[in-house]
Structure 1
Amino acid sequence: MLGMVQANQYLRLFKKEQICGLFYFTIWALILIKMDTLIPKAYYFDKTIFQPITQKIFDSTWSCFQLNQNSMNQNDCIPIEHYNTPLLLSYNGNKLNLLSNVCTHRAHILLDKKTNSNCIRCPYHGRRFDLDGRCQSSPGFSKEELKNSKNNLLNLNQYQFLDLFFYSIKPDFELKHIFNAIKKTMSFFDHDDLIYEKALSKTFVYDINWALYCENYLEGLHIPFVHKGLAKHINIASYKTFVKKNFVLQQAEAHPNQDSFVNSNIGAYYFWIFPGIMLNYYPWGLSVNIVTALEIQKTKIQYFVYKFPNAAIADDDASVLNVELEDQKAVESVQKGLHSSLFNQPSLSDQYEKGVKKFHQLILNYF
């Protein structure tokens, strides 16, 4: 097992030899993996490190957007942007497809706005695809040549939960297995009765690295200090964290006389799926956070709220919106604090911050 002194000796050697950028950081990451420790500060500030690693993470895991399928008509095609990867959503009347929005002939973008047509035609050389992404015709190519599957548009992996459409370009794990585990844990919770609350659902953009938002979510140690209203509802002493392969469950009991699930003293279940999917179960319903890294220090949080009919949601200092704003203030302060030359790496509690450790270990796998 390498020690920190040995690790720093390696780093000084790399710097002396002018090995820098992503290669330098990859070597550093391999050292850290051997040490079973955390990602260094550079990931939060160096674009040459952040960009390729983050692209790889989000291409290899699951992203999400909200979709009201009833609002789509047969033959609708809608362009969607996933980081640097143009995509398009098509509906053939029976099935939704999420396809590459780049022509397989010469890489021209196929659609730049919503259309309604029974085919997708490239505006550059006229190559035509059906709404499942199969290449039907292409000027200058024989039917025999077009039989090669490389001429078809890539059809992405997808999974639907409520009105949320999850997708992945090349997933490292099956999302349905994780949702099956969540549904098993929450077998007493009737998802079919949930109603989407548009007025309570928000989109936030924070001036932080996306990883800081996830780190904050993955521990309850800050609750008594940051969320004093929430701390009146849940018993922090009962807070438990269960680390799984690609997700983490946190749960806490409710204080006496506070809302808890039927036939249970649990006041909340918090599920996090790598890298940035969060499902928060309460007696009144469910809120979902979707984290998207926009830039190295700019992160979008889509916040969807679903509740049971006639259920009351707290409208005090423990409300979901107030807790979210308290988290925003905390993580933006951490982003500023990371700039300090006097701070190197966090030290994490084995008891309370095992979820944060798991998050860092998963990120390091992508270097």
Structure 2
Amino acid sequence: MSDELIDPDIRKAHTLPSRFYTEESVFSEVVAGFSECWHFAAHVSQLAEHNVLPLEHMERFVGESMLLTRDDGFRCLSNVCTHRGMLVSTEACSASVLRCGYHGRTFGLDGCMRNMPSSRVWGVFPSSSDDLREFDLKRWNGLLFAGNGPSRFADCLAELECRVGWMPIESFEHDPSRHRSYEIDANWALYVDNYLEGFHIPYVHGDLQRSWTTTHIAPSCSREVCYRSASPETQRRASICQSPHPITDSESRLSTTGCTLVDAELLPVGAVCESRHPNLGETDQNRLLRLRLGPF
């Protein structure tokens, strides 16, 4: 895919050529690039009650089935048994070991193979090749990021610190009741185009003109800051909260503006694009900051 596909000068830029929307090679190239990025895996609160958490969404991004474990720390491991390729875990649970349900092969929470029935007669066994693969995992303010050989994590931190570093994300709790998933029968690239492009808002979403919305496009993600109420008080708060830099009393700022961190994913699924986002809750929510957490 040419770097000059779109002229960086908007005065000279044109609509993407049709091949971008229809050619399988373009789609494959886009999906392949996901594996080189960091992806939001989970919030630490999701491992508060359980110490094993399958990451079903990660396989779509990196082509690997993964799970998280919590023991003396957090680890991201392959969720595929090294014997016959069976999934080791299919749901969140609490366990002292990981046990494959196909032949009983057992692994520690660190991924190292512990035992397999009737294996004593097999000679030199197990070896390191029998252990579950461990993937890169980073933690920032309670958010866990994983990847399959991704780029340097430090390159991602500056933007996170600038935008949401002031929020007490570590103390947040995951709310599964707000999760929503929609599968849309549309060309994935066309859907993403319209999702990221804001020029149509005055004509199609006129009600949004009563509040303030802005979208910033970055190389591998999009950021949206939305104020969901048109009340004068909300607009006053908006003028205060536009700065992404840390403030003295972040706890007060959070409670005053009603800020919510949302992980919104747009996933290409074959010829269509799946849009995932949680329920936004109160219609008059004063401030919603949407940060697409991955890929980076």
Equivalents in 2 of 1:77, 1:191: separation in Å?
20
Which runs of 5 or more residues in structure 1 are unaligned?
1-28, 270-281, 307-311, 321-361, 363-367
1:31-61 CA deviation, whole Å, 9 max, x = no partner?
Answer: x3355557643343344652x3344133222
Taking structure 1 as the reference length, what is the TM-score of the superposition?
Answer: 0.54
C-alpha contact (below 8 Å) 1:240/1:251 kept by paired residues: yes
Taking structure 2 as the reference length, what is the TM-score of the superposition?
Answer: 0.64
Equivalents in 1 of 2:186, 2:142: separation in Å?
28
Equivalents in 2 of 1:260, 1:168: separation in Å?
39
1:201-250 CA deviation, whole Å, 9 max, x = no partner?
Answer: 5332222344444433433322222221221112x7xx684x65545556
Equivalents in 2 of 1:292, 1:208: separation in Å?
12
C-alpha contact (below 8 Å) 2:226/2:287 kept by paired residues: no
| Residues 220/79 of structure 1: CA separation in 2 closer, same or farther (3 Å cut) | closer
| Residues 131/303 of structure 1: CA separation in 2 closer, same or farther (3 Å cut) | same
| Residues 131/258 of structure 1: CA separation in 2 closer, same or farther (3 Å cut) | same
| Residues 62/300 of structure 1: CA separation in 2 closer, same or farther (3 Å cut) | farther
| Residues 48/112 of structure 1: CA separation in 2 closer, same or farther (3 Å cut) | farther
Equivalents in 2 of 1:193, 1:124: separation in Å?
38
C-alpha contact (below 8 Å) 1:47/1:296 kept by paired residues: no
Cα displacement (A) at 1:195: 6.6
C-alpha contact (below 8 Å) 2:100/2:106 kept by paired residues: yes
Cα displacement (A) at 1:285: 0.9
C-alpha contact (below 8 Å) 1:210/1:293 kept by paired residues: yes
Equivalents in 1 of 2:48, 2:97: separation in Å?
21
2:147 equivalent to 1:168 = yes
Higher strand share: 1
Equivalents in 2 of 1:130, 1:168: separation in Å?
21
Partner of 2:292: none
Partner of 2:34: 58
1:181-207 CA deviation, whole Å, 9 max, x = no partner?
Answer: 233244554546767666655332222
Equivalents in 1 of 2:135, 2:271: separation in Å?
26
| The one of 259, 263, 279 aligned to 1:285 | 259
Equivalents in 2 of 1:87, 1:131: separation in Å?
13
Equivalents in 1 of 2:107, 2:181: separation in Å?
34
Partner of 2:250: none
Partner of 1:87: 66
Structure 2 counterpart of 1:216, which letter? N
SS in 1 for 2:34: helix
SS in 2 for 1:184: helix
Partner of 2:131: 152
| The one of 177, 182, 194 aligned to 1:216 | 194
| The one of 13, 21, 41 aligned to 1:44 | 21
Residues 100-119 of structure 1 aligned to structure 2 (within 5 Å): 100-105=78-83, 107-111=84-88, 113-114=90-91, 117-119=95-97
Equivalents in 1 of 2:190, 2:78: separation in Å?
30
Equivalents in 2 of 1:197, 1:231: separation in Å?
30
Partner of 2:270: 295
Equivalents in 1 of 2:279, 2:146: separation in Å?
17
Which runs of 5 or more residues in structure 2 are unaligned?
8-14, 245-255, 289-294
Partner of 2:184: 206
C-alpha contact (below 8 Å) 1:287/1:305 kept by paired residues: no
Deviates more, 1:36-45 or 1:245-254: 245-254
| The one of 108, 111, 119 aligned to 1:130 | 108
| Residues 291/192 of structure 1: CA separation in 2 closer, same or farther (3 Å cut) | same
Query: What is the percent sequence identity of the aligned residues?
Result: 19
Cα displacement (A) at 1:295: 2.6
Structure 2 counterpart of 1:56, which letter? A
Cα displacement (A) at 1:72: 0.7
Structure 1 counterpart of 2:49, which letter? S
CA RMSD of aligned residues (A): 4.4
Larger Rg: 1
Aligned residue pairs total 260
Deviates more, 1:32-41 or 1:52-61: 32-41
